[in-house]
Structure 1
Amino acid sequence: MSPLIKVFQPSGILDASESQEFRQEITEIADSGAKIVLVDFQNVTFMDSSGLGALVLAFKALRAADIKLVICSINEQVRILFELTGMDKVFEIFPSQEEFNQNVLSII
């Protein structure tokens, strides 16, 4: 994988108690010189509106720094949350990290 792409894999429940740590980790990744941050949700079992809010804030902060945030491997619960809030239209979402690699790495 390109050094311009950093993968972040949160796990467990992404809610109010975890949202601050999530944003902090995204900020650290952004400071590492990445141009694309891939958030792989494969190990996230549940996300609530606080977790979604943290993701949106991270998205805005990265966009301001000219860094793209991309998501992959969301489960059914997270997919429904994204669809209900319209965030599935905001975020670029790939079914898996492999699918991301096939689509994105071919254009870098």
Structure 2
Amino acid sequence: MDSMVVKVVQPQGILDGIKSNQLRQEVGDILANGANTVLIDLENVNFMDSSGLSALVSALKMVRTAGGKLYLCSINEQLQMVFELTRMDRVFETFANQDDFYLSHK
């Protein structure tokens, strides 16, 4: 890959309305600073509501609009269930963890 600039976002705790806005803002800032690849590591997110899912979709749209790519990693069982029920598991490219992501993008 040529000049892939990866920035990792690591939300914590519950990904709800307030944290969702912070996530959108953080992804926007990352894109404004020239990164073209965003990896959202969900390892420390133990619950996500619909606004959290909406924030991830918004982030994906922002990144794609900027010509970049967005990936997710470290999705726990609760989040995986949400992704499968909403069929978002077909929309997002996911990895087991950060190491898995970096190994596949060498």
Q: Is the TM-score greater than 0.5?
A: yes
Unaligned runs of 5+ in 2: none
Match of 2:10 in 1: 9
Match of 1:100 in 2: 101
**Percent identity for Structure 1 against Structure 2:** 53
Match of 1:40 in 2: 41
What is the TM-score normalised by the length of structure 2? 0.93
Deviations 1:1-32 (A, max 9, x none): x7711111111100122211111111111112
1:30 equivalent to 2:36? Answer no
Deviation at 1:73, TM superposition (A): 0.2
Amino acid at match of 2:86: T
Deviations 1:50-102 (A, max 9, x none): 10001101100110000100000011110000000010000000001000010
Match of 1:71 in 2: 72
Unaligned runs of 5+ in 1: none
State the distance in 2 between where 1:30 and 1:12 align.
24
When the two chains are superposed, the root-mean-square deviation of aligned CA atoms in Å is 1.2
What is the TM-score normalised by the length of structure 1? 0.91
SS of the counterpart of 2:45?
Answer: strand
